[in-house]
Amino acid sequence: MKDFTINKAIAFELPPVFEGRHLIDGAWIASTDRFDRVSPSHGTVVSVSARGGEAEANAAIAAARRAFDAGVWSRMSGKARATTLLKVADLIEANVERIALLETLESGKPISQSRGEVGGAADLWRYAASLARTSHGDSHNTLGAEMLGVVLKEPIGVVSIITPWNFPFWILSQKLPFALAAGCTVVVKPSEMTPSSTVMMGELLLEAGLPAGVCNIVLGYGDPVGSLMSTHDDVDMVTFTGSTVVGKMITQASAGTLKKVALELGGKNPQVIFPDADLENAADAVTFGVYFNVGQCCNSSSRIIVHEDVAESFVARVVALSKQVKFGDPLDPDTQVGAIVTPEHNAKIHAYVEAAIAEGATLELGGGALSVDGLGDQFYQPTVISGVQPDMPIARDEVFGPVLTVLTFRTLEDAIALTNDSDFGLSAGVWSENMHTCLEFARRAQAGTVWTNTWMDGYPELAFGGVKQSGQGREIGSYGFEEFLEVKSLVMRIGRSRAPWVQTST
Ligand code: NAD
């Protein structure tokens, strides 16, 4: 049997280089300084973006502050806000092809996946629109005859949104429509590696009629743009998705102003396979879980914990499936797994693999860079490593590549202990036909999401986020929406009998 399935380069005329500018107070602004993005798969410049500095970040924050304080969005009715969000959803659907192509060229992900993510994001906007209209606080009519208490929900204010390169449009849509639904104004900074789909989102927002200053976009790097967005006095909240290292930096940077911080960080997510599971289905889900987005995914199931009795045959099954996953040209609609984001990242993945082998782990498949005919070698082979010990870096760190590590267990207690023996706690999965096993695992796994007999299914209604060093706060769902709201208690005396505090002498 062949070792891998590789789709060579297809003939394709690349679009003109995309020119990205900042969106500040409703206007497109250029900078003299610019930065390029070289496509990870095609090795050619696909976008040139304005490189923001302190001036642009300050201007964007000031515009968001002014718009918020003027109430042009924050004091609008929920119905009016929802109408705009629904228009954005329609516009996203009308522009899927254009946005998806650039997303693929900048990130290296397969075009079919980009289409799914961009088109699917429309649903997040529609769900957020429904929240804009149904948001409410509560009332307390039990405080006594003369008192009435009302708890109001109000937009938190100006929100900084900082996003990573691995799901640029999707993650933006996990945050932005929810912040807007709540009535907040925002400053967005996309990753310097994938800025263009966020600029395209800005175009759609203007077309949908979002008032000037409500959503501002600054292109550039963590330093100084992201860092100013985390420290500035006029910002009330930072919502960040990215690495745990930068998440910690943002927490420290924001401490000076005690702004609210919501963090979606890394993961080292296990799928636990019991011998009574539907092993065929589980093997397919494990294969999907590790290679989706070339493993450059916070939800990557980069470690499996499989019962000793079935470990050998299960690994053989995953290896056989891995050989059939279609790696290669991300522009080929048939490709399932694309390129690695940068050469440096490819080298980092490989260093983890080499270290594991040097420490005594067994390479079952792959283990090296992958060359794709007509595109070069910024790809990595599907890789499976067994005999991994829980203390090896490859079993503990977020490798962020198409690399599966296999650990084994004997009892449910062992499986839970291995699952929780991690600094991370984003997601976990369990495979068993026994409902009691699944529920016991689900209740004791330290993770923000637990999947039973499936992997990575998600819905706008269900909150997403992590525990431990995978983050704080939640995204999407009503819980994610609530993150952008502040709570105010309104205490009202409705009778006239308030006893005076000061005893007057006359
Ligand atoms: P990163 O942390 O390197 O960068 C993320 C963003 O932060 C970028 O826009 C970057 O410019 C900005 N940034 C960098 N330094 C900054 C600073 N000092 N202050 C403010 N902003 C700064 O992450 P990445 O490499 O783009 O993305 C990969 C990481 O994201 C992985 O760890 C992955 O697990 C995580 N991730 C998490 C989730 C989740 O929902 N939990 C989803 C996707 C990605």
What would the pLDDT profile of 365-380 be if each residue is shown by its tens digit?
999 999 999 999 999 9
Residues whose CB falls within 8 Å of the CB of residue 258, separated by 6 or more in sequence, listed in order: none
**349 and 438 fall within a common domain:** yes
pLDDT average, residue stretch 58-84: 98
438 found inside a domain: yes
How does residue 495 score in pLDDT terms, banded at 50, 70 and 90? confident
- 25: helix, strand or coil: coil
**337 and 308 fall within a common domain:** yes
93 backbone dihedrals φ, ψ, rounded to 5°: -60, -35
Alpha-carbon distance of 59 to 218, in angstroms, equals 9
Say if residues 65 and 59 touch (Cβ distance below 8 Å). no
506 found inside a domain: no
Nearest ligand 1 atom, CA 174: 40
How does residue 327 score in pLDDT terms, banded at 50, 70 and 90? very high
Distances (CA, A) of 331 to 63, 227, 302, 458: 38, 35, 25, 25
Burial class (CB in 10 A: 0-12, 13-18, 19+), 479: middle
Q: How do beta strands 369-372 and 5-7 pair?
A: unpaired
Residues whose CB falls within 8 Å of the CB of residue 312, separated by 6 or more in sequence, listed in order: none
Q: How do beta strands 303-307 and 485-493 pair?
A: unpaired
Q: Render the burial of 41-63: b for 16+ CB within 10 Å, e for the rest.
A: bbeeebbbbbbbbeebbbbbbbb
**84 and 223 fall within a common domain:** yes
Alpha-carbon distance of 235 to 216, in angstroms, equals 13
- For residue 12, is pLDDT > 70? yes
111 found inside a domain: yes
Residue nearest to atom 14 of ligand 1 (CA): 222
Write the pLDDT tens digit of every residue in 165-177: 999 999 999 999 9
User: Which residues sit opposite 318 in a β-bridge?
Assistant: none
Tokens of 3: 């070792």
387 backbone dihedrals φ, ψ, rounded to 5°: 65, 30
The domain spanning residue 403 has which CATH number? 3.40.309.10
Residues with catalytic roles = 264, 298
Distances (CA, A) of 28 to 23, 59, 92, 247: 5, 12, 20, 29
- The pLDDT value given to residue 118: 98
**447 and 474 fall within a common domain:** no
Dihedral sign for Cα atoms in the order 156, 93, 46, 28: negative
Tokens of 8: 């060579």
Q: Is 165 in the pocket of ligand 1 (CB under 6 A)?
A: yes
- The pLDDT value given to residue 260: 98
**237 and 298 fall within a common domain:** no
**256 and 276 fall within a common domain:** no
How does residue 497 score in pLDDT terms, banded at 50, 70 and 90? confident
Tokens of 300: 């990557």
Write the pLDDT tens digit of every residue in 406-440: 999 999 999 999 999 999 999 999 999 999 999 99
Write the pLDDT tens digit of every residue in 127-155: 999 999 999 999 999 999 999 999 999 99
281 found inside a domain: yes
Q: What is the mean pLDDT of the chain?
A: 97
Distances (CA, A) of 249 to 240, 257, 263, 379, 389: 11, 14, 11, 30, 30
Write the pLDDT tens digit of every residue in 380-395: 999 999 999 999 999 9
352 backbone dihedrals φ, ψ, rounded to 5°: -65, -40
Q: How would DSSP label each residue in 252-287?
A: HHHGGGT-EEEEE-----EEEE-TTS-HHHHHHHHH
Q: How many CB atoms lie within 10 A of CB 116?
A: 14
**242 and 343 fall within a common domain:** no
Q: Is 298 in the pocket of ligand 1 (CB under 6 A)?
A: yes
Q: Is 192 in the pocket of ligand 1 (CB under 6 A)?
A: yes
Nearest ligand 1 atom, CA 249: 18
208 found inside a domain: yes
**259 and 274 fall within a common domain:** no
Say if residues 453 and 278 touch (Cβ distance below 8 Å). yes
400 backbone dihedrals φ, ψ, rounded to 5°: 65, 45
Secondary structure of 412-468 as H, E, C letters: HHHHHHHHHCCCCCCEEEEECCCHHHHHHHHHHCCCCEEEECCCCCCCCCCCECCCH
Say how many domains are in the chain. Answer: 2
Q: Render the burial of 413-444: b for 16+ CB within 10 Å, e for the rest.
A: ebbbebbeebebbbbbbbbbeeeebbebbbeb
Measured in Å, residue 328 CA sits from the centre of ligand 1 at: 25
Q: Is 191 in the pocket of ligand 1 (CB under 6 A)?
A: yes
Say if residues 363 and 235 touch (Cβ distance below 8 Å). no
What's the half-sphere exposure (Cβ side, CA atoms, 13 Å) at 103?
30
- For residue 272, is pLDDT > 70? yes
Helix, strand, coil shares, percent, the chain, to 5: 40, 25, 35
Tokens of 186: 């925002």
505 found inside a domain: no
Nearest ligand 1 atom, CA 475: 40
Residue of 37, 246, 268 with the most ligand 1 atoms within 8 Å of its CB, for mutation: 246
- For residue 227, is pLDDT > 70? yes
**215 and 285 fall within a common domain:** no
- The pLDDT value given to residue 226: 98
Dihedral sign for Cα atoms in the order 276, 279, 281, 287: positive
197 found inside a domain: yes
Measured in Å, residue 298 CA sits from the centre of ligand 1 at: 10
**148 and 245 fall within a common domain:** yes
Tokens of 143: 């405080």
Measured in Å, residue 167 CA sits from the centre of ligand 1 at: 11
- For residue 448, is pLDDT > 80? yes
pLDDT average, residue stretch 445-468: 98
User: CA angle, 399 as apex, 393 and 400 as ends, to 5°?
Assistant: 170
- The pLDDT value given to residue 319: 98
- The pLDDT value given to residue 1: 55
The domain spanning residue 181 has which CATH number? 3.40.605.10
- For residue 506, is pLDDT > 80? no
Tokens of 333: 């609609």
Pick from 424, 174, 399: which is nearest to 296 by CA? 399
pLDDT average, residue stretch 451-460: 97
**254 and 291 fall within a common domain:** no
**243 and 284 fall within a common domain:** no
Query: By residue range, what is the domain housing residue 370?
Result: 270-452
